[in-house]
Structure 1
Amino acid sequence: MQLQKLVYTEDHLQLINRAFLYGDAVWVSFFVRNGQLIMAEESYFFLMASMRKMRMNIPLSYTLEFFQALFEREVLEKGIRNGIIQMMAYRKQEEKPLPKSATAFYFEVEESEDILGIQGDIELDLIKEINVNANLLSNIRVHSAENIYATIYAKENDLDDVILLNPNKKIARSIFGNLLFLQDNVIKIPKQTEGAYISPLMENFVTFVHKNKLADIEEAEIIAFESQKAEEILRISDEKGVHSVSKIRNKTFANNRFTEMVTKWKASFDEHQTN
């Protein structure tokens, strides 16, 4: 069966808009699993928080119910069973002063495998030429020249992703998501104050692990060398899903324990959907 890809724009997409001209936009993901929206409330509140951080005018019509009905009509009823809805909210290019500019949105969704399952293994390396900031806007998905540079660097070096550091040489995140480092019974996660993304998908996983006492969770400042000390590494990306890290430079990593945790996490959603 051929997988679908859908694209939706609110009203008519203006080619001359502030997202196109200035990167004046935010990206947030919504998740479809087994023909249902999951974590919709968490994604919606992250969308509202991201728009507020970018000082966007949020229309009164942008309610959780509005987006649930929209995705039901434009995604689920068109046969998408599993996938990630990549939604971009942006400021229109208008004569009005910026704070009063109207906002619009665009989204696309490509059908995929179960977004809660491990999609496969990826290979990373550290990039030292650039770093990412650690401020109010570093935690949300906004235009990032650093991401563009790092994406090209990764492709030129046959990598799937790279580890990005902040100005203090601590691990912030990867291009596409957050990194979780497992050693003994502790999962270390870079702090948001270090430049890590806010991620509804990762937060749901970490909460499940904590509640079920599968490992201890530690938000920490992590130096680059610690990536080599980890026994297993997981990348959770709201954009691309869940992947285990198989290799960084010359070191290879197992994925047994994270695979077991992710399997239990996925099963908890199956139990919820059948009840």
Structure 2
Amino acid sequence: MQPQKLVYTEDHLQLINRSFLYGDSVWVSFFVRNGQLIMAEESYFFLMASMRKMRLNIPLSYTLEFFQELFQKEVLGKGIQNGIIQLMAYRKQEDKPLPKSETAFYFEIEESNDILDIKGNIELDLIKEINVNANLLSNIRVHSAENIYAEIYAKENDLDDVILLNPNKKIARSIFGNLLFLQDNVIKIPKQTEGAYISPLMENFVTFVHKNKLAEIEEAEIIAFESQKAEEILRISDEKGVHAVSKIRNKSFENTRFAEMVTQWKNSFL
């Protein structure tokens, strides 16, 4: 059976909107696992925070209960068991002054395997032609010309993703998510002040690892060379899920200890 793909738009969708014209929007993921919405509260609060950072008007109707009921009807009620809901909130194109423009949203979801599974191995490399900023908007998913450039670069070089640096030449993130570097008993994660994404999915995993004392968590400034010193690397993406990094340039990486941690994390949701 082919996986389902669902797309939802509000009744008053404008084809010519500010997201289309200017990239004036934010993306946030919600997660469906075994026919249930998981981490809904974390994703909802991230949506609210992202909208505030982009100075989008937040309608009073945009409550947690509103989105839970909407996803129950339009996603779970249509048989989706596992997948990532990609929701975009955007500003309409109207005659009103910009700060008063109304907000609308759109979302899509494609059915997949368990979103908490490690979905496979990916190959990365460092990109030096561009870097990403480390400011208020760097931590949320907004329009990013750097991501588009990097994604094309990756495809042209047979890579699955690339490591993006900030202007200080420290590791910020990848195109699609955050990178976790395991060495000995320490998991290093780039700081959000370095340009890393805020990620409800990664924060849930890191909190689980910390509470269960599976490894020490260290938010750090990480130079590019440190990626070669890691024993294992994990990419956690709110957009694409969890992947093990198998290779960066000529160095290959194992995926044993992260696999064990992810399995324990996954079982904690049962």
Instruction: State the TM bucket, normalised to the shorter chain.
Output: over 0.9
Structure 2 distance, partners of 1:61, 1:10, is 13
Structure 1 distance, partners of 2:256, 2:58, is 44
Structure 2 distance, partners of 1:237, 1:222, is 19
Residues 1:52 and 2:40 are matched in the alignment: no
SS in 1 for 2:268: helix
Structure 1 distance, partners of 2:21, 2:5, is 26
SS in 2 for 1:155: helix
Which aligned runs of 4 or more in structure 1 are off by greater than 3 angstroms? none
The alpha-carbon deviation at position 116 of structure 1 amounts to 0.5
Structure 1 distance, partners of 2:10, 2:122, is 35
Q: Deviations over 1:163-216 (max 9, x none)?
A: 000000000000000000000000000000000000000000000000000000
The alpha-carbon deviation at position 156 of structure 1 amounts to 0.1
Structure 1 distance, partners of 2:125, 2:45, is 33
When normalised by structure 1's length, the TM-score is 0.97
Deviates more, 1:3-12 or 1:36-45: 3-12
Deviates more, 1:7-16 or 1:257-266: 7-16
SS in 1 for 2:197: coil
Partner of 1:97: 97
Structure 1 distance, partners of 2:135, 2:199, is 16
Structural RMSD (CA): 0.4
Structure 2 distance, partners of 1:69, 1:229, is 46
Structure 1: tracts of 5 or more residues without a match: 270-275
Structure 2 distance, partners of 1:98, 1:29, is 26
Structure 2: tracts of 5 or more residues without a match: none
Structure 1 distance, partners of 2:13, 2:164, is 33
SS in 2 for 1:57: coil
Q: Deviations over 1:3-38 (max 9, x none)?
A: 000000012321110000000000000000000000
SS in 2 for 1:234: strand
Structure 1 distance, partners of 2:191, 2:100, is 34
Structure 2 distance, partners of 1:214, 1:120, is 22
Structure 1 distance, partners of 2:74, 2:158, is 36
Deviates more, 1:6-15 or 1:249-258: 6-15
SS in 2 for 1:260: helix
The alpha-carbon deviation at position 2 of structure 1 amounts to 1.2
Structure 1 distance, partners of 2:214, 2:47, is 30
How many residues were matched structurally?
269
